[in-house]
Structure 1
Amino acid sequence: MSEQDDDQREFDIKWADQAEYKEPSARARMLAARWKENPPEPVPFRGDPEHVGPRRSSWVSTVIVLGCVAAVILILGYARFQAPY
């Protein structure tokens, strides 16, 4: 009996997939109704985000990183110089 149910289900899926008109999902209907009254504003592809501050130059970032590395090297060298042997 399960084989017959599988065959019937497969027939129903094929029949549904071959339908000329498919009803949109509930979300699609909801959005269509909402946009009919209040359409969304166009958004550019990769628009400028508002929460991002001004970008720094790559040289500024490089100087900051190298300065931190130099500070760590100096601190470690000073700590080793002060440690008793």
Structure 2
Amino acid sequence: MSERDDFEQREFDLRWADGAAHKEPSARARMLAARWKHDPPGPVPFRPEPDRRGARRPRSPWVSVAVVFGGVAAVVLLLGYLDFRPY
């Protein structure tokens, strides 16, 4: 068999497999289906309720921006001071 015939045979097999009426589920899907058959999972909220015990006011994203720019400014000033001081 030539390489082209081999490729066409594989292509045919893939088209045949993709066109199957029944597709077997993955091993994980089969495992979860078996587990959930006897012990179904409970409802899970889309977003869990926040924990209010140690709740803090959410920090503004501008605080992080100010800290970064302040740190960069401090480094620039420090490097400028080291460059201009007399020896």
Structure 1: 4+ residue segments shifted above 6 A: none
Query: Normalization by structure 1: what TM-score?
Result: 0.60
Equivalent positions of 1:6-85 (< 5 A) are 6-48=7-49, 50=51, 53-56=54-57
5+ long unaligned stretches in structure 2: 71-87
Q: Rate the CA distance shift 1:8–1:55 in 2: closer, same or farther, 3 A.
A: same
Aligned-residue identity in percent: 60
Report Cα offsets for 1:27-55 as digits up to 9, x if no partner.
100000001111111111111255x8313
Please name the residue that 1:2 is paired with.
3
RMSD of Structure 2 on Structure 1 (CA): 2.8
Q: CA deviation at 1:23?
A: 0.6
- Once residues 56 and 3 of structure 1 are traced to their aligned partners in structure 2, the CA distance between those partners, rounded to angstroms, is 66
Q: CA deviation at 1:2?
A: 1.1
- Once residues 50 and 26 of structure 2 are traced to their aligned partners in structure 1, the CA distance between those partners, rounded to angstroms, is 31
Partner of 2:31, secondary structure, is helix
5+ long unaligned stretches in structure 1: 70-85
Q: CA deviation at 1:57?
A: 6.3
Report Cα offsets for 1:45-69 as digits up to 9, x if no partner.
111255x8313266xxx8xx9xxx9
Alignment length (residue pairs): 61
- Once residues 34 and 48 of structure 2 are traced to their aligned partners in structure 1, the CA distance between those partners, rounded to angstroms, is 26
Query: Normalization by structure 2: what TM-score?
Result: 0.58
Query: Rg: which structure is higher?
Result: 1
- Once residues 37 and 19 of structure 1 are traced to their aligned partners in structure 2, the CA distance between those partners, rounded to angstroms, is 30
